[in-house]
Amino acid sequence: MSHFHYQDGVLHVEALPLTQLAEQFGTPLYVYSKAALLANFDAYAQPCAGRDALVCYAMKANSNLAILDLLARRGAGFDIVSGGELQRVLAAGGDPGKVIFSGVGKTEAEMEQALLAGILCFNVESIPELHRLNGVAARLGKRAPVSLRVNPNVDAKTHPYIATGLKANKFGVAFDDALATYRTAARLSHLDVVGIDCHIGSQLLDDAPLLEALDKLIELIDTLDAEGIHLHHLDIGGGIGIQYGEAGEADPVPVADYVQRLYARIDAWRAARHQGKPIKLIFEPGRSIVGNTGVLLMKVEFLKPGSEKNFCIVDAAMNDMKRPTLYQAWMEIKPVVPRAGVATVYDVVGPVCESGDWLARERALALDQGDLLAMMTAGAYGMTMASNYNTRTRAAEVLVDGDQAHLIRRRETVAELIALESRLP
């Protein structure tokens, strides 16, 4: 995380010390680096320069309007999974013509909303969804652009909760059923079959499974072409994973190398088939764009020694960052102002009334009450998965641009949490 660094004994984000941000905005606090965000997006966009390609940011990773706005200005499209996310894209000034709508359970209202907005494509995941979308488009007098999310049964070798490309997963159309499903889509009068989509899972550090999935998609595209179903884009799904700082963790494949290998296979395939026009390539990276742009800043409330474990109790909790307790995810914890002296091994835990409320286990830290800690690589699946459990207000969010800090989401109040509720008469 080069945009997060120690300077004069204090952890900084770009040119600002985190101590200053904690004093100004309080804790828990999400802090993001603008420079890191744009550099991560450019890692995908720049190797595609001069080609027919679109990088659609998977906004479920982090959907703050300021982040969407910055990416939209950079030329990003967006991968959405709900009507609410579409509204966020529009509110942030994003182009609906660069929006891909994914997800297994789109409602009629969401389909209508997306058709009226003029999105680029629906990633359809079942035959019933095809028929529903065709009916909504007919009622509106429109034609819906569709691609099928094909499940290639490729093992991403990642956490089972974020693996999405196997037969046992709820996502997509099984590869063996894809041809028949495309035939059905092609017969429906208010659908335009324009592409193919595949997303086999998240947090892949090796691109071999992605390239294996690409080979299966190419095979299917050729079969469809022979039947007169001509596709205009190939959506390869999510991006390369990121490092969370765990000892022995493998290095992710550089994004530029991955993109180069994708295009090498696609170019060889198109040349072998004497196809003059290259197929449009769409990416849906999320975590690799925002993950290492952010930290979760927290304060040590108490240090509680024990006979079997020592606990560092902080003011952040599982409602602020769910990944450790949900996925047993390892996330690096750094002191904002490192102390000299002998470190003690702590479990870093929050105040939520659950034994599962932990942020890190068995970390050697030299600490005192009142110290600040930073959970690194917290930009993805942090705030978007946050909750108000125990009537805890969600953290504020700050985006740093050089030596300027911008509050991009203020901290909630308890009054706001209960405003939608009513007592009985």
Convert the pLDDT of each residue in 1-55 to its tens digit: 579 999 999 999 999 999 999 999 999 999 999 999 999 999 999 999 999 999 9
pTM of this prediction exceeds 0.75:
yes
pLDDT at 165: 43
Tally of CA atoms within 13 A in the half-sphere of 75 that contains its CB: 10
For residue 247, give every residue at least 6 positions away whose Cβ sits within 8 Å of its Cβ, in sequence order, or none.
Answer: none
pLDDT at 217: 94
Does the N-terminal peptide bond of residue 28 adopt cis geometry, omega within 30 degrees of 0? yes
> Binning pLDDT at 50, 70 and 90, where does residue 167 land?
low
CA distances to 55, 104, 176, 197, 235 from 221, in Å: 21, 22, 13, 11, 12
CA distances to 60, 149, 165 from 57, in Å: 9, 17, 19
The residue among 75, 121, 81 whose CA lies nearest residue 94 is 75
> Binning pLDDT at 50, 70 and 90, where does residue 152 land?
confident
Taking residues 289-317, report their average pLDDT.
Answer: 97
Residue 162 pLDDT greater than 50, yes or no: no
Average pLDDT, the chain: 94
* pLDDT over 70, % of the chain: 95
pLDDT at 200: 85
pLDDT at 244: 92
- Dig out the tokens for 43 from the structure: 């890692």
User: Count of H helices and E strands in the chain?
Assistant: 12, 21
Measured over all CA atoms, what is the biggest interatomic distance in the chain, rounded to whole angstroms?
Answer: 74
353 carries an active-site annotation = yes
> Binning pLDDT at 50, 70 and 90, where does residue 156 land?
low
The residue among 90, 92, 110, 109 whose CA lies nearest residue 101 is 110
Domains of the chain: 4-31+292-418 (2.40.37.10), 103-283 (3.20.20.10)
Beta bridge partners of 58: 79
Q: Could you report the per-residue pLDDT of 230-275, keeping only the tens digit for each? A: 999 999 999 899 999 888 888 999 999 999 999 999 999 988 876 6
